[in-house]
Structure 1
Amino acid sequence: MSEIRSINYELSENILKNEILQKKSNGTYLFYGNKNVDLYEHAIDFAMSINCLGDKNYRCGKCRNCVNIKKAVYPDLHLYNANDGFGIDKVREIIQNASRNSYEGYKKIFIIENIQLLQKESSNAMLKIIEEPPQNTFFILTTRNMNIIKTIKSRSIIINFYPKTYEMLGVSKEVYEFFDGNTADIEKISNIDYDYTTNLSYNDINIYIENYIETENIVEKANIIKCIKDFIRNIDRISEFEKVILAEKIEKAAEIKTSKKNKIEKENESIEKNNLIKRDNSLKNTRLFLLEILNLYVINLKNIDKTEKLLDIKNTIHANVNISTLLYIFFLNI
C-alpha cells in the first residue's frame, strides 16, 4: 500500500477528503503526529466523514451519525488504546467484531490509539485483518512515533499531521509558546480571558492539580503550567529536600483526587446504560495523569542534556514501579 506524507495541516485534511471522495468500502490508515497534534480528534473527524449522512461527501457534524460518533456512542465505532494493554485476546476481540455485520448498516470504524506500544506478537496477529479489512470496515491507527513494525506501516495509508500554527489558531505567539503549541489546549482556552502575565508559586501546584482533576478545566491546567514555569525559573535555588517535598505533594494530590473521581465515574457508569462505548479518560488513572504532569516539566525545562534521562525515568511509569520512588528520582534529576 502506498505511503502518503503531508507537509502541513491543510494538506492532511485535503488528503482525507480525497479518500472520502473515492468512496472506498474498507481501508487502514495510520495517523502520525507529535504531542501537539490531537490524533484522537483527527481520527474521530475522519470516522464522522466515513459515515456522514450529509450530501457534502465530508463530515457535516450535524447528522445522527456524526453526532453519535463525536460523542463516542455510535455502536459501530470501536475504540481501543494500547496504553491500556493490548494482548492477543484483544486482537481476537477486534477480529470478531470486524467480522460481524454492522449495527447501523453503515461502516464499522476501529480506532486504535498508540499503536507503537503494541508488542510484536500482537502486532503480527493484527496484520491479516488490517491488510484486508472486511467490507465496510475501516481501521484508524494512531502513533506518536514511527517505531512500529514495518509490515503495519506498509499495509497502511500514512497521514502525517502537523500542528496548526498560532496564526491558524488565531492566538498570539506568546500564548502558543506558553502551551508549547498544544493545539487542543490552545483551542480550549482561546475564548477565555486568561491572564498570562501573573506568576504562581511552584509550591502551590498541588492545589491546581486537585482542581484540574476534579473539573478538567483548561484554566487549572494553565495554572499548573505557571507553577511549573516558576519551578524552572527558581531551579538553581531549590534544594533537594524541597524537591522531595514537592514530589510528595504532587503524588498526594493526584492519588486522592483521581481515586475520588474514579469512584464517582464508576457510579455514573451504572446509571448511563445507554452509553455503549466510552473512551477511557486519562484522568481516571493516577499513573497516566502523573505522566502528563511529568511531560509538562520536561517540556518546560528545555534542557537537552537532561531531557533524555528524564524521559527514561518518566517512561518507567508504565511499569509497576513505585510511584513515590519514581517521582523522587525524577525531581532529584531535574
Structure 2
Amino acid sequence: MFGDIISNEEAKSFLKNEIKIGKKSGTYLFYGERGSELMEFSLAFAKGLNCSEDPVDFCGKCDVCLRIDSGNYPDVEVVEDPTGIKINQVREVIYKASSSSYEGRKKVFILKDIENLRVEAANALLKIIEEPGEGTFFIMTSHSLNIIPTIISRSTAVHIKKKNPEELGITEEEYEFFFGDVAEIEMYKKIGIDLHHPVSYSDIGEHIKNYVKDGEIESRINIKKSLRDFMGNRRFLDDIEKIYFAEEIYRGSRDRSVAESIMYEGILLNDDLSKTEGLLHIKGMLRFPVNVQLALKMFFLKI
C-alpha cells in the first residue's frame, strides 16, 4: 500500500488519485536527486495500476503485486542500460507497447535513468510516449531534469523527494555520509558498522574489487571512506600520487558505472566550487566511448 511508503505524501496522494480516476493510459516522469526512491514509487504505481484486489491502491499481497515485486509479471517491464538506453531497446519497447497485454490488465514500461538517453533513442521514444495506446503506461525515471525538453513536455512530472534523517531513523552525520541514499542507509542500519574507523585512500582498489565481488555494504562503505581520505589529503598529494589513486580505482573495476559513481561522490565532497563545472564535464565524458582510465586521471588531477 502507498501508506506503507514513508515520505512523499504529495506524490503518493497524486498517484493514488491517478489510479482512482481510472486513467486508460499515460506517460509519467518520476524525478529526484540520487538517493530518492524512484524505483520504489515506479513499482508501487505499476502495482496500483494492476492490483487485482484494491482498485484505488495496491494490496502488496495478491498474485499480481507479488509477481511485480519479483520481476515475474510480463506486463511490467524495466528497461535500463548503465551507458544510456539505446535505440534498439526503445524499438523493442515500441513493438511490445503495440502488442496485446499478456495478463489482460495494464502494460507498464519503466525506463530508468533517461537523463542518459541517447539522442536517437530519445527521438524514437517521443513517438510512442506522446499518445500511448489504451492500457499502456510509461514511467520514466531521472535524477536530473537535464533531459530533452520535448520528453518533459509529453510527460506528467512527479517529484520524488529523498527521505530525511528523521524518517530514516538515523543521525544527520550518517545521512550525509551516504548522501541520503536510502538503499545504502537501510543496508547500513542492519550491520551497524563504525563510520568513523579510518580507511586509507591507497586501498580503494581492493575495496572496489571486494564490492564488485560480494556487493556487501561494508565494501561500499570502505570505498566511501577511501575517497574521503583522498579528498581530505588531496592538497598534500603530488600529481603522481593522484594518478596512482585514479589507477587504483581503475584496477578495482573498469566498469564505467563504478567510475561515474566515484566521480559523482567526489564532486559532492569537493569544497572548491570553481572546479565543479570542469569536474562535471569530465564525468559527463563517460557517457561516450572515452578511455575510462584516462578520464579518471584527468578527474583526480583536477580535483
TM-score between the two structures when normalised by the length of structure 2: 0.91
CA change 1:305–1:41 in 2 (3 A) is same
1:131 corresponds to 2:130: yes
SS at match of 1:109: strand
Asked whether the equivalents of residues 83 and 287 of structure 2 are also in contact (C-alpha less than 8 Å), the reply is no
1:234 corresponds to 2:233: yes
Which residue of the partner structure matches residue 273 of structure 2? 304
Asked whether the equivalents of residues 77 and 109 of structure 1 are also in contact (C-alpha less than 8 Å), the reply is yes
CA change 1:244–1:69 in 2 (3 A) is same
SS at match of 2:190: coil
Q: How many Å apart are 1:23 and its aligned residue?
A: 2.0
Asked whether the equivalents of residues 82 and 112 of structure 1 are also in contact (C-alpha less than 8 Å), the reply is no
Asked whether the equivalents of residues 127 and 152 of structure 1 are also in contact (C-alpha less than 8 Å), the reply is yes
Which residue of the partner structure matches residue 3 of structure 2? none
Give the whole-Å Cα distance in 2 for the aligned partners of 1:236 and 1:289.
Answer: 24
Asked whether the equivalents of residues 37 and 184 of structure 1 are also in contact (C-alpha less than 8 Å), the reply is no
SS at match of 1:62: coil
Indicate the RMSD between aligned Cα atoms, in angstroms: 1.9
Which residue of the partner structure matches residue 52 of structure 2? 53
CA change 1:118–1:209 in 2 (3 A) is closer
Asked whether the equivalents of residues 106 and 137 of structure 2 are also in contact (C-alpha less than 8 Å), the reply is yes
Give the whole-Å Cα distance in 1 for the aligned partners of 2:204 and 2:288.
Answer: 25
Which residue of the partner structure matches residue 4 of structure 2? none
Asked whether the equivalents of residues 28 and 156 of structure 1 are also in contact (C-alpha less than 8 Å), the reply is yes
The residue type equivalent to 1:97 in the other structure is K
Asked whether the equivalents of residues 84 and 113 of structure 2 are also in contact (C-alpha less than 8 Å), the reply is no
Give the whole-Å Cα distance in 1 for the aligned partners of 2:208 and 2:124.
Answer: 40
The residue type equivalent to 1:249 in the other structure is E
Give the whole-Å Cα distance in 2 for the aligned partners of 1:9 and 1:315.
Answer: 30
SS at match of 1:158: strand
Asked whether the equivalents of residues 98 and 108 of structure 1 are also in contact (C-alpha less than 8 Å), the reply is yes
Q: What is the count of residue pairs matched by the alignment? A: 297
Asked whether the equivalents of residues 20 and 55 of structure 2 are also in contact (C-alpha less than 8 Å), the reply is no
Q: How many Å apart are 1:101 and its aligned residue?
A: 0.9
SS at match of 1:25: coil
Q: How many Å apart are 1:195 and its aligned residue?
A: 0.7
CA change 1:290–1:88 in 2 (3 A) is closer
Asked whether the equivalents of residues 90 and 125 of structure 2 are also in contact (C-alpha less than 8 Å), the reply is yes
Which residue of the partner structure matches residue 271 of structure 1? none
Percent same amino acid at aligned positions?
Answer: 41
Moved more, 177-186 or 78-87: 78-87
Gaps of 5+ in 2: 1-6
Give the whole-Å Cα distance in 2 for the aligned partners of 1:84 and 1:198.
Answer: 34
C-alpha distance after superposition, 1:106-162 (max 9, x if no partner): 211111122233345443433342122112111001122223333322221110111
TM-score between the two structures when normalised by the length of structure 1: 0.83
Instruction: Note the 1:67-82 alignment, pairs <5 A.
Output: 67-81=66-80
